Amino acid sequence: MSERPKIFGISGWKNSGKTGLAVRLVEEFTRRGYRISTIKHAHHDFDIDKVGADSYRHRQAGAHEVTIVSGTRYAIMHELRGAAEPSFEEILGRIAPCDLVLIEGYKREPIPKIEARRLESANREPLASGDPHIVAIAADHPVTDTTLPVFDLDDTLAIADFIAATVALPPLK
């Protein structure tokens, strides 16, 4: 059994800047030479397959898993077919070895997280006060009601440095 990868989460309400921050962090850690994977939790039904595509037809026919492979990437779609959503740990166990897994969503998982806040969020109620696993806040506005470190939502370098220190990401050789 391989060692559990280093994990850091990005939490926040809809339109809080989570995805933009995640993308910038992936770019920054990749620029630094790290292998980064991501897990994004969707609260709604989603599909990555096009209606009518061969893989779509395989799934519609009842396949349990459909793997699409090309010279540049592969994807495995797993149909739950009424089974329970897999746990966070089950999904984490399927990730290939990497230096860091960035998690978007999964608000309730006991992992270190940064809370993204934007004035245009659908909901502006702070999450940090109710989640002891939120270790910092990244916002596009001043935040004064916390003792946690607060970063500008666009200060990707400082946030990446904070995450690297928080999860003890080893320096690259």
The low-confidence residues of the chain, meaning pLDDT below 50, are 1
Per-residue pLDDT at 44? 67
Per-residue pLDDT at 131? 94
Q: Name 169's Cβ contacts closer than 8 Å, sequence gap at least 6.
A: 6, 34, 99, 100, 163
Strands of the chain, DSSP E: 6-11, 36-40, 65-69, 74-78, 100-104, 113-117, 134-139, 150-152
Per-residue pLDDT at 36? 96
Per-residue pLDDT at 136? 98
Per-residue pLDDT at 1? 41
Per-residue pLDDT at 102? 96
Quote the pTM value. 0.87
Per-residue pLDDT at 10? 96
